[in-house]
Structure formats: structure tokens, C-alpha cells
A and B are shown apart, each in its own frame.
Chain A
């Protein structure tokens, strides 16, 4: 079946540092999505990417749709304490959305 490999699984960073995480797949996706999940809550959509090569920003977040359509990355600049949580990538193909297993972000004071 289709699998998304999301890395890293977890990150420990200092407040103020930039963060980078990515997702890769052996399959092509038509859409890449990035979600954030806070403790005890459901995932919330951060960024949606619809075209290969597309680079989209949402505040301090920037995401790109890889030109091969098999990967995507998410960058967070100047991290702050409220960035803590689990970040999920998701790819859409044939009306199905497949989620990665998430990157758990920890921010050290």
C-alpha cells in the first residue's frame, strides 16, 4: 500500500531555532498537506500544496511540494513555545488521504 515516510520522528530544539521536517513516498501524490496536532486535540490543517514545485508560506511556516511529487518539506522559522506539538504530512491521491506518522516537536526553554 501507499506509505509516507516522515522524518524525523521527534525533534528537541531551542526556542528561536529554525525547524525542518520532511515527508517522502514511493508514490506520486496530487496534493500535499501539513497538519499540526496539539495534545488532546485533533489535527488542524496548516498548509495545503496543490502543484509540483509550489512553495507556500503561512506566517513562520513554509512548505514545498517536491518537483517529483513524491516528497514535501515543512520549515518553521524562529520557533516559539506554542509550536510544540505533532506535525503530520499527508498526501492525497485517488480521493484518499494518507497520513505520515508525525514529527513530534519539543522546544527547550
Chain B
């Protein structure tokens, strides 16, 4: 298996632009997680899905952030409009079952908003 796939790996955009991050979880995994990593705040859970349904989005910072999972093999995290403080590394992770705790992380998308 190729593991969790994220695209793009790097994104540089200007403030106010829309940003879309993409994730393909490991086939067969029921759970998908979106995290944000910064030096100041560390690794933060933004939202997670179970069987394509959003379960907990309490970590989503504000209405500018939205996430979708239209099918079991694809999810997006969208920021609109983007702001410089959104600059971070965004990770997608997936797991077969929540109780197993083995979340497999993707390589991340490094976002820079100018």
C-alpha cells in the first residue's frame, strides 16, 4: 500500500486566496483525521471523519476552514480566504479502527500564506 497520500506537498499562496488540501487515506481505513502543526501550538487535531461522516470538528479554528469527505478514498481541507496565520504543516492521517490507535500519517502539506 502506498500509505496516506497528500497533495500538494508544498503550497505558497497570497493572503485572501482559497487553498485546497487533498488527502487519500489508506484503503480500508474507516477513520480520517486532519491535523495542523506549528511551532507555537504543536500538533492540533482539526477534524475527523468516520465512514466519510464528520464526527468532531471542534478543532477547526474558524469558519474559513471546511473539510469534506465525499467518498472513502478522498478528503479535502479548504481554507477560504487564507490568512498568513494559517501558515503551517497540515497532516492527514487514517486508521482502520479508532481503538487501535495506530494512525498512519501522510507526509503533510507545507502551507505558506504571504
A residues apposed to B, CB below 8 Å = 31, 33, 40-45, 48, 88, 92, 95-97, 99-102
Q: How many A-B residue pairs have CB under 8 A?
A: 41
Q: Taking A41-B108, A48-B101 as given, write out 10 further A-B residue pairs in contact, using a Cβ cutoff of 8 Å, ordered by the A residue number.
A: A31-B101, A41-B107, A42-B105, A88-B42, A92-B101, A95-B98, A96-B45, A96-B56, A99-B43, A102-B42
Q: Determine the distance from Cα of A44 to Cα of B91 in the docked complex, in whole angstroms.
A: 12
Please tell me the number of chain B residues within 8 Å of chain A, measured between CB atoms: 17
Indicate whether A42 sits within 8 Å of B101 (C-beta atoms), given known contacts A101-B42, A102-B42: no
Cα of A42 to Cα of B50 in the assembled complex, Å: 21
> Is B66 part of the binding interface, using a Cβ–Cβ cutoff of 8 Å?
no
A44/B45 in contact, CB under 8 A: no
Which residues of B pack against A, CB within 8 Å? 4, 41-45, 56, 91, 93, 98, 101-103, 105-108
Contact of B107 among A33, A40, A101 (CB under 8 A): A40
